[in-house]
Structure 1
Amino acid sequence: MKQLRILKSITNRGDQSLGRYLTDISRLPMLSPDEEVDLARKIHEGGKKAEQAKNKLILGNLRFVVSVAKQYQHYGIPLEDLIDEGNIGLVKAAERYDDTRGFKFISYAVWWVRQAICSAIMDQGRMVRLPMNQAGTLAKLNQEISKFEQEHQRQPSAEELAEISGMDEEKVRKAMEADNHQLSIDAPVTDDSETRVSDMMSSDNEFAPDQQSEHESMAKDLEDVLRDTLTNKEINILKDYYGLGRKEEGLEEIGSKYDLTRERVRQIREKSLNKIRHNIHARCLKKYLG
């Protein structure tokens, strides 16, 4: 029971200062890989020793959570809150780790820690909303864009859009910057990343046993980004085109399914990729891309 109380006091910091917390966890003993395997087996065996083993496994890796949390310091959430979220992921990892799969606990836990932190960042991002006047402007422009694309099979220029909507051209340009529709599939996921959007969307990779957890975690975060960023039609078109959880299809096949032209499918695909590219939630995916 004493060990459990220690665990709660450290992983749930409350008003405890970050400096004090870091000092406390620096005094905790590190675990060897063999010790982690032994603890994992005790956890799976259950019984009275299982909870103690889980607590010891968690306590031995709290410093690791801090190192991961520091990678996300510039996403608008205080470091201490990122650490709290990462600790939640660490607890889940300790409960699910299977040493028989042949990889170290730390290799498995990193994806649970990152996933918990990214989920917190995404949740905060969902609370950020455009001002009502800007949101209304974008909604109106998007309606006009859709009408224009259906008629002309291309996207309108800012000048054309200003004429159609009756808005000032400069106002249109500024609004379009917030909802930029021009993105190549070869554009980077983020401004300072060399990884392309197409690399992120590809489903052709095979994963080694110690990468399976990374794959599962990234897949969940990608699904969250898609749901938070795109319409159902856009999600389905991307999944069809890139074979995400289904058979990969070409533009014409997808067009036939949704009664759209090949060009219109291509436009929706590019527009959807652009939304992902400029959505702050996609930053979380960057950690999986090296």
Structure 2
Amino acid sequence: MAADTTLLASRAGGTTDLVESYWRDIRHFEPLSRAQEADLVQRARAGDAGAADTLVTANLRFVVSVAKKYTSYGMSFSELIAEGNCGLLEAVKRFDETRGFKFITYAVWWIRQGILKALAEQSRAARPPMSQVNDLKKVEKNAARLTQKLGRSPTAEEIAASADISLERAHSAIELSQSDLSLDAPFSGEDGDDSIQALLAMDDPGCDECFDQAALFRALHECI
């Protein structure tokens, strides 16, 4: 497993110690309750920078969860995290706490969009075709918006119309989304492992303590 830690460190563009240090820092931020999230979102919307910072730092580990799935596409792990963090900040600005969703259920769409946008702009060859990346961004953005607006999972037809793409392209993007990423379980192994090895070992999706993954992907899954 030490070799895996070194590999991830090299992808991050830093040393093993730096990756371990970042991992230890972010994993100790306590999860927020929905009531805490709602309060922080309202305060952040009113201009409270401290509230926005608290909401962001409490969810940084989920950015890592998403980012580590894209380390083979030509960008360093640290760059992916930075782009995902930009998406997380965008989610803070846009989240509507009155819709009944957990913040991270909504934010993960924007985290992924930030990463996918960066992948689309970088010139490496080891990534999905540009047209597919662009369609995927459109589908995910509009699916997230429609889910909040309608209070249910949008149909493929609704997503295609909202994204202004053909139904065939919408279906292709939905299939790419489902095959491309499976979000991980929470970053706290039962054995209490504090190292980045715990991150590498987690490949099973889903945990209510982390976020409701079923709710996150329902909008796309039901369109197939």
State the TM-score, normalizing by the size of structure 2.
0.52
Write out aligned runs for 1:247-266 (5 A). Answer: none
Decide whether aligned partners of structure 1 residues 28 and 284 sit closer, same or farther in structure 2, where only a CA change above 3 A counts: same
| Cα drift, residue 43 of structure 1 | 1.5
Aligned to 2:117: 119
Aligned to 1:30: 31
| Cα drift, residue 66 of structure 1 | 0.8
CA contact (8 A) 1:70 1:79 kept: yes
| Cα drift, residue 67 of structure 1 | 0.9
| Cα drift, residue 45 of structure 1 | 2.7
Query: Using the alignment, how far apart are the partners of 1:243 and 1:103 within structure 2?
Result: 21
Query: Using the alignment, how far apart are the partners of 2:59 and 2:73 within structure 1?
Result: 23
| Cα drift, residue 284 of structure 1 | 6.2
Once the two structures are superposed, residues 38-92 of structure 1 have per-residue CA deviations (whole angstroms, 9 ceiling, x without a partner) of 101112233xxx1110000001000111111122222222222211111111111
RMSD of Structure 2 on Structure 1 (CA)? 4.4
CA contact (8 A) 1:89 1:116 kept: yes
Count of residue pairs the alignment pairs up: 149
| Cα drift, residue 210 of structure 1 | 7.5
CA contact (8 A) 1:118 1:284 kept: no
Write out aligned runs for 1:154-165 (5 A). Answer: none
Higher relative contact order (CA 8 A, sep 6+): 2
Aligned to 2:105: 107
Q: Higher Cα Rg: structure 1 or 2? A: 1
Query: Using the alignment, how far apart are the partners of 1:106 and 1:210 within structure 2?
Result: 17
Are residue 78 (structure 1) and residue 79 (structure 2) matched? no
- Identity across the alignment (%): 37
Aligned to 1:88: 86
Q: Quick one: which of 121, 129, 148 aligns to 1:209?
A: 148
| Cα drift, residue 119 of structure 1 | 1.0
CA contact (8 A) 1:65 1:86 kept: yes
Residue type of the alignment partner of 1:31: L
Query: Using the alignment, how far apart are the partners of 1:88 and 1:72 within structure 2?
Result: 16
List gaps (5 residues or longer) in structure 1.
1-12, 129-188, 190-199, 216-221, 223-238, 249-268
Are residue 43 (structure 1) and residue 41 (structure 2) matched? no
Query: Using the alignment, how far apart are the partners of 1:62 and 1:211 within structure 2?
Result: 28
Residue type of the alignment partner of 1:70: K
List gaps (5 residues or longer) in structure 2.
1-12, 126-131, 133-138, 182-216
Query: Using the alignment, how far apart are the partners of 2:95 and 2:14 within structure 1?
Result: 28
| Cα drift, residue 245 of structure 1 | 2.9
Give the 3-state SS of the residue equivalent to 1:17 in structure 2. Answer: helix
Give the 3-state SS of the residue equivalent to 1:77 in structure 2. Answer: coil
State the TM-score, normalizing by the size of structure 1.
0.41
Residue type of the alignment partner of 1:24: D
Once the two structures are superposed, residues 139-176 of structure 1 have per-residue CA deviations (whole angstroms, 9 ceiling, x without a partner) of xxxxxxxxxxxxxxxxxxxxxxxxxxxxxxxxxxxxxx
| Cα drift, residue 283 of structure 1 | 5.6
Query: Using the alignment, how far apart are the partners of 2:150 and 2:24 within structure 1?
Result: 32
Write out aligned runs for 1:1-290 (5 A). Answer: 17-46=18-47, 50-125=48-123, 128=125, 207-209=146-148, 245=164, 286-287=180-181
Aligned to 1:256: none
Decide whether aligned partners of structure 1 residues 65 and 211 sit closer, same or farther in structure 2, where only a CA change above 3 A counts: farther
Once the two structures are superposed, residues 4-48 of structure 1 have per-residue CA deviations (whole angstroms, 9 ceiling, x without a partner) of xxxxxxxxx9998222111111122221121111101112233xx
| Cα drift, residue 101 of structure 1 | 2.5
Query: Using the alignment, how far apart are the partners of 1:84 and 1:244 within structure 2?
Result: 26
Once the two structures are superposed, residues 187-227 of structure 1 have per-residue CA deviations (whole angstroms, 9 ceiling, x without a partner) of xx8xxxxxxxxxx8xx9xx9542888x98xxxxxx9xxxxx
Query: Using the alignment, how far apart are the partners of 1:120 and 1:114 within structure 2?
Result: 10
